[in-house]
Structure 1
Amino acid sequence: MPGFNNPQYWNYQNSTIDEITKKIYSSNYTSYDQRTELIRQATVLGVNESVRIFLAAKIDPFVANKNVDGVINDFGGGITGRFTPINSRTGDSTLKIGVKQIYQGAWNPVGGLSDAYSKNIWDTLNDPGIFKDPYSGQNFPVRQKWSVQTAGPQNKLDVPPDAINWDPTQQKWIQMGAGKKATSKITYDLQWSNWHNGQKMDMDDVLYSVYFTQEWGT
């Protein structure tokens, strides 16, 4: 929004929109229908406020050789999404992709990629746990299946006392102990395969991801 939360700038404020969107952002709702209604309210208020008025809409052309099978035309992003290079088939098993590259940021898979061109490459080099259907936008499992148990947002679940977390101060994994609470519990069924060097994936890779976030994000 105007001002970008920079205190030196004038910042757009709307307490009603803030209240609604904070509920959406923090998952402070109790049902799918309530979430849908919050999004509807925020959308109507945002349009009525007309903070930004778009004067032009562009059409992005995408070209693909007729001999390439399996091109996926994402309703939101065209054929440049992750599914086209993964799903496409050619006669000689080689897929050539041309890019009108305007700029490129740093290749930083840890801090995040800042340009679409790097992101297009990165999307073909990793599998997310879940992804969105290119036609419906609904989430579907890629590398994991899951089940959710929740008591939220009003109540809490007991955290098992032997659950572990990385402590960056003590530099070791610690048990959470008795008395800890959580809003939700998600159980994942992970689909393992091999890394690029042939090494098999296992639970240590998951623990490393938790460690990295706690160690360098604290």
Structure 2
Amino acid sequence: MTEEEYWETALEGLEIGLRDAVRIYVCYQNQYYVANKAAFNNRMAYGLGDGLNGWSLVTANTKDKEVRATQFSAQGALFMSAWDPIGTDGFNDTYSNNIAQPLFDRESFESPVSAMQTPNRTVARMDTLKAAVELDPEGNLVGKVPIPGQAVRYDSAKKAWVPMGAGQTSMVSCTYDLVLSNYHHGVPMEMADFLYAAAFLQEWVTQDGPDDPYYDEEYASNMSSDAGIYRAYIHDVKESSITSYFDYYFPASDERMVGAFPPLLSATAS
């Protein structure tokens, strides 16, 4: 698929949706929130549709570098999901997410202002981006970017990182520089955190036999499609960079293609 084919198909779908939709919403309800203006260096951000949200707290620029927020809910509706940072049942309700999401550091994110994919903990070297695909005889999109034999993947059965070997391909490859600092409790971030997250994902979505204790069906149902996109990695500890080989092809935007599936720092399903 080329960029021209993508936009032709997308705009056709948009036209059909606008023409045949039962309802087209042209207005929204205003809601009002209170903030202490004297505590901020500039205005507090809020969403036009949802009011105060995670970005309100993440972008809050206060004079003392602290934000104190109060949230209210209907009786009996507070913290409806389990306090689980990994599984599918954790951090799913509004109130838990109001606490958890500002503490979660993304590898990259979609800008709430421009909708552009924006690097955060992983910065793609755009001059290393390679993307090549073709249709196989069955009409499936397959990658044509060669994966070096020394690139590694996590083998859940062997509990080890193993070389891919010769003859493998992916749709895309790109090298990412890692932006490392300290965690909130002072422990430095390192390459091992990215290896652990990638291994965790593959471990828990893969069932190695009927009695595999390191397999979770609910987690796998939510995350296995993402796990299948990541093919292999080359880790450069000295340069603090990772070259990733993956199967996500999006010809309309190179930034979104490299930003949607960067090397993992978190494997949460919440």
Normalising by structure 1, what TM-score? 0.74
Q: Deviation at 1:56? A: 8.1
Any conservation in 1 of the 2:107–2:122 contact (CA below 8 Å)? yes
CA distance in 2, matches of 1:51, 1:176: 50
What is aligned with 1:73? 46
Percentage of identical aligned residues: 31
Unaligned runs of 5+ in 2: 136-142, 207-270
Question: 2:172, 2:102 → 1: CA distance?
Answer: 31
**Secondary structure at the residue paired with 1:39?**
helix
Shift of 1:194: 1.1
Q: How many equivalent pairs are there?
A: 188
- Assess if the C-alpha contact under 8 Å between 1:30 and 1:152 holds in 2: no
CA displacement at 1:204 relative to structure 2 = 0.8
Question: Within 2, Cα distance between the matches of 1:35 and 1:63?
Answer: 43
Specify the alignment match of 1:199 in structure 2: 187
C-alpha separation in 2, matches of 1:169 and 1:46: 46
> Which protein, 1 or 2, shows the higher relative CO under an 8 Å CA cutoff with sep ≥ 6?
2
Whole-angstrom distance in 1 between the partners of 2:65 and 2:123: 31
The two structures have a TM-score, normalised by structure 2, of 0.61
Instruction: State the Cα deviation string for residues 60-79 of structure 1 (Å, max 9, x = none).
Output: 33332222334123455433
1:21-100 correspondence runs (5 A): 29-31=1-3, 33-50=4-21, 57-67=28-38, 68-70=40-42, 71-75=44-48, 77-82=50-55, 84-100=56-72
- 8 A Cα contact 1:74 1:135, kept in partner: no
Structure-2 separation of matches of 1:51 and 1:157: 43
CA distance in 2, matches of 1:139, 1:81: 17
Q: Which whole-Å CA distance do the structure 2 matches of 1:116 and 1:173 have between them?
A: 37
1:114 to partner: Cα distance: 1.4
Matches within 5 A, 1:174-189: 174-189=162-177
Q: How many angstroms does 1:100 deviate by?
A: 2.2
- Over 3 Å counting, the alpha-carbon distance change for 1:166 and 1:130 in structure 2 is same
Q: Indicate which of 151, 158, 161 corresponds to 2:132.
A: 151
Deviates more, 1:204-213 or 1:92-101: 92-101
CA-CA distance at 1:59 after TM superposition: 3.1
Amino acid at match of 1:118: S
Q: Give the root-mean-square deviation of aligned CA atoms.
A: 2.6
